[in-house]
Structure 1
Amino acid sequence: MFARSLTLAVLLAVAGPLLAADGDTPLAQERGKSRPLIIIASSSVDPTLVTLKKSLDEPANKEAFAKHNMVLYTIVSLAGQRNGKDMDAQSTMALIRELKLGVLDKNQAQVILVGKDGEKKIDHKGAIDPKEIFSTIDQMPMAEKEAAAPAPVAPAAEPKSTPQGGKPGKAGKTAPAAPPAGLDD
């Protein structure tokens, strides 16, 4: 009896974090907030990775990248980064699993754009021009573009009190609001 309980406790202790991590993957955290651009390369000197990162650092592309509400994920030899900051191994592996990549080509980098809705919009092997990425985003339906953009709310105006009576400077009672015109029961 004790052996079964111990075995179950060990299995839960090992499997618990793995199951929790699947629901809290990097792409799930980005869904509805931003558009992940993921570059997967076999080495840090991969021409696609170097060229794309350099072109994204240009002022015009950097501005367009921010305007399109994007984040950059890079995975180089199973080491992941999000916007230049290292990710832990568990998050990197969860990202790779969520992308369902299959067999990777070690000779060519892969560039993936994921929309705010969580769907792959671009899955490209080799070099790609940032303008092509931005034009793909611009062609997306408005519903996807505004997936998480809440409508701005105008602040409510406070009712103003009007002075009544003969004493200046003192506020009296406010008049009841008249019902809006054209609304009949």
Structure 2
Amino acid sequence: MFIRSLTLAALLAVAGPLLAADADTPLAQERGKSRPLIIIASSSVDPTLVKLKKDFNDSPNKEEFAKRNVALYTIVALAGQRNGKDMDAQSTMALIRELKLTVLDKDQAQVILVGKDGEKKIDHKGAIDPKEIFSTIDQMPMAEKEAAAAKPDTPPEEPKSTAQGGKPGKPGKAGKGAAAAPPAALDD
């Protein structure tokens, strides 16, 4: 019994930091909350990077990105930012590892859109139109659920009155002489 407990403790001691490291990655922190848009460029003057940053901060597009919960990550020469704020080197490297990037293309920037589920939705080299990003997001199942939640189709229920004269909204108790409701039929 002691050996089993010792073995379990050793396994937890080894596996604990590995599991915690996976949860600390930037994409893991975004999962379920926002849609990361990652731009990877070799230079800060890359035309794709400059255009997408301008599009992201442009007034009408900024509202569209915000409405779709998009977080902008940029990686330029191994220096990372999230929505214009610098990330530390460990977070940047964790983001690169999580995206499974091995070689950064020096000729063209790479644009990656990750859904709320953590899966890559767009993996594109070179310039991309924000409208293409918006249409991809709008076709995602999570975006459809969010839109449905924003517009309820059914009107709110009205309070039910009871046969026993109880308070509205609360079911009344059946008395001794009251007939019980027949049981519901089972579905096969």
Give the TM-score normalised by the residue count of structure 1. Answer: 0.70
Residue aligned with 1:94, SS: helix
CA offsets per residue over residues 87-133 of structure 1, 9 Å max, x none?
11000000000001232211111000000111000000111111110
Higher relative contact order (CA 8 A, sep 6+): 1
What's 1:145 paired with?
143
Is 1:45 matched up with 2:45? Answer: yes
> What root-mean-square deviation, in Å, do the aligned CA atoms of Structure 1 and Structure 2 show?
3.4
Deviation at 1:33, TM superposition (A): 0.9
Q: Which one is further off, 55-64 or 67-76?
A: 55-64
What's 2:126 paired with?
126
What's 2:109 paired with?
109
Q: 1:41 touches 1:75 (CA, 8 Å); kept in 2? A: yes
Which whole-Å CA distance do the structure 1 matches of 2:181 and 2:45 have between them? 69
Q: How many residues align?
A: 155
The AA in structure 2 aligned to 1:40 is: I
Deviation at 1:44, TM superposition (A): 0.8
Q: Which one is further off, 51-60 or 36-45?
A: 51-60
Which whole-Å CA distance do the structure 2 matches of 1:67 and 1:179 have between them? 48
Which whole-Å CA distance do the structure 2 matches of 1:183 and 1:85 have between them? 63
Deviation at 1:80, TM superposition (A): 0.6
Residue aligned with 2:72, SS: strand
Deviation at 1:177, TM superposition (A): 4.0
Unaligned segments of structure 1, at least 5 residues: 1-11, 153-172
Which whole-Å CA distance do the structure 2 matches of 1:46 and 1:21 have between them? 32
The 5-angstrom pairing of residues 1-185 of structure 1 reads 20-140=20-140, 142=141, 144-145=142-143, 177-178=171-172, 184-185=182-183
Give the TM-score normalised by the residue count of structure 2. Answer: 0.69
What's 1:7 paired with?
none
Q: 2:79 touches 2:87 (CA, 8 Å); kept in 1? A: yes
The 1:63–1:102 alpha-carbon spacing in structure 2 relative to 1, beyond 3 Å, is same
Deviation at 1:30, TM superposition (A): 0.6
Which whole-Å CA distance do the structure 1 matches of 2:29 and 2:53 have between them? 23
The 1:73–1:134 alpha-carbon spacing in structure 2 relative to 1, beyond 3 Å, is same
Q: 1:38 touches 1:112 (CA, 8 Å); kept in 2? A: yes
Q: 2:23 touches 2:29 (CA, 8 Å); kept in 1? A: no
Residue aligned with 1:92, SS: helix
Q: 1:78 touches 1:92 (CA, 8 Å); kept in 2? A: yes
Q: 2:22 touches 2:28 (CA, 8 Å); kept in 1? A: no
The 1:147–1:115 alpha-carbon spacing in structure 2 relative to 1, beyond 3 Å, is farther
State percent identity of aligned pairs: 77
Which whole-Å CA distance do the structure 2 matches of 1:90 and 1:105 have between them? 21
The AA in structure 2 aligned to 1:76 is: V
Q: 1:116 touches 1:145 (CA, 8 Å); kept in 2? A: no
